[in-house]
């Protein structure tokens, strides 16, 4: 089969799939089946050569998995975030464009600190910590996650980007593995699980295929956020900052939790869709 014929088949197979671009995705999956890396996508599909039997088998398998709802990033095994290509698979949440706001807001604060000490809670793929390390050479970063599987891919991403010497990865829940590190950090950031348990079943089917532990925020969506906020003040330096990604309808509740926990100068930042996305505040110590 000619590559162009395979591409047409892939586009037709993916047509009608929700939240997808059939033409683009069919092209990327064909490139993947041909062994192309992220930086050379869209190159091989214009070639008139035939697909080998093995290449055609791989392509059909990738397209079928996508039709069944497997996230594109898991099939491609990588995703771009903050201009960096990260390895991802079903061990971790897929980094998304709106989360880049959390990194950018953190970098703004880093510019005001000579050698920022940063803690990320729930690092997942390591995308946030690695992006911070790449964009702030003076930063020292500690990143935790409850999932050992997620930490293994985070470490791989740090090594690929050559920043593993400036990020320390630790396994454990919230602040449990660093209980002795009091008043140490200039910045704590997190993209915590914040979706209400009862709403997970209403998410896009492909999102439901991502690790539930990285999505499920409990009955009210605040099961992780509340203890994270309440304990952050013990680990931040005076005038240190806490930054969180939140659900679009959680700003008021999270603001109240932060106020009650001694945070001031609270600010809610919207994403490109004008939805509440990030909240930050200053610790009064």
Residues in contact with 94: Cβ distance below 8 Å, sequence separation at least 6, in sequence order: 71, 73, 74, 79, 88, 125, 210
Give the tens place of pLDDT for each residue, 239-257: 999 999 999 999 999 999 9
The H-assigned helical ranges of 115-147 are 127-135
Q: What's the domain count of the chain?
A: 2
The percent of residues above 70 in pLDDT, for the chain, comes to 95
- From CA 31, how far away is CA 38, in angstroms rounded? 9
Q: Is 144 in the same domain as 185?
A: yes
What pLDDT is stored for residue 20 in this prediction?
A: 75
* 223 & 113 share domain: yes
155 and 269 share one domain: yes
Q: Is residue 246 part of a domain?
A: yes
The pLDDT score that the predictor gives to residue 182 is 84
Whether the full predicted model's pTM is greater than 0.85, yes or no, is yes
Flag whether pLDDT at 39 surpasses 70: no
181 burial level (CB within 10 Å; 0-12, 13-18, 19+): middle
* Helix 3-14 / helix 22-33 crossing angle, nearest 10 deg: 130
**What pLDDT score was predicted for residue 35?**
81
Q: How far apart are CA 200 and CA 219, in angstroms?
A: 11
pLDDT at 48 over 70: no
Are 54 and 143 members of one domain? no
Domain CATH code at residue 133: 3.40.50.150
The verdict on residue 236 lying in a domain is yes
Q: Is residue 74 part of a domain?
A: no
**Domain of residue 126, residue span:** 82-283
First to last CA, the chain: 67
Whether residue 152 sits in one domain with residue 197: yes
Q: Average pLDDT over the chain, rounded to whole? A: 92
- 71-92 mean pLDDT: 95
Are the beta carbons of 236 and 242 closer than 8 angstroms? yes
**Is the pLDDT score of 50 beyond 90?**
no
Both 45 and 170 in one domain: the answer is no
**Does 73 map to a domain?**
no
User: Over the stretch 149-208, which tens digit does the pLDDT of each residue have?
Assistant: 999 999 999 999 999 999 999 999 999 999 888 888 999 999 999 999 999 999 888 899
165, 30: one domain: no
Asked if residue 87 and residue 64 are part of one domain, the reply reads no
41 and 134 assigned to the same domain: no
pLDDT (tens digit, 9 = 90+) per residue, 217-239? 999 999 999 999 999 999 999 99
Closest CA to 236 of 164, 285, 269: 285
């Amino acid at each position: 089969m000619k590559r162009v014929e395979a591409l047409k088949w892939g586009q037709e197979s993916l047509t009608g799939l929700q939240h997808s671009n059939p033409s683009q995705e069919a092209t990327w999956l064909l490139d993947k089946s041909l062994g192309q890396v992220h930086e050379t996508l869209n190159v091989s599909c214009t070639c008139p050569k035939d697909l080998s039997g093995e290449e055609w088998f791989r392509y059909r398998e990738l397209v079928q998995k996508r039709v069944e709802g497997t996230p594109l990033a898991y099939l491609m095994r990588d995703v771009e975030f903050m201009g960096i290509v990260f390895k991802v698979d079903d061990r971790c949440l897929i980094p998304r464009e709106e989360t880049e706001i959390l990194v950018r807001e953190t970098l703004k604060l880093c510019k005001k600190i000579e050698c920022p000490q940063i803690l990320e809670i729930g690092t997942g793929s390591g995308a946030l910590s690695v992006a911070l390390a790449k964009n702030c050479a003076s930063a020292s970063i500690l990143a935790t996650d409850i999932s050992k599987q997620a930490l293994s891919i985070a470490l791989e991403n740090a090594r690929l980007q050559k920043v593993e010497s400036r990020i320390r990865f630790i396994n454990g829940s919230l602040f449990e593995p660093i209980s002795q590190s009091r008043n140490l950090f200039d910045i704590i950031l997190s993209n915590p699980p914040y979706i209400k348990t009862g709403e997970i079943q209403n998410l896009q089917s492909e999102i439901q295929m991502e690790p539930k532990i990285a999505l499920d925020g409990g009955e009210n969506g605040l099961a992780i956020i509340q203890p994270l906020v309440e304990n952050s003040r013990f680990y931040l330096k005076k005038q240190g900052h806490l930054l969180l990604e939140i659900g679009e309808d959680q700003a008021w509740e999270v603001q109240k939790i932060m106020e009650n926990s001694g945070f001031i100068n609270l600010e809610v930042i919207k994403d490109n869709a004008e939805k509440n996305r990030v909240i930050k505040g200053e610790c009064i110590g």
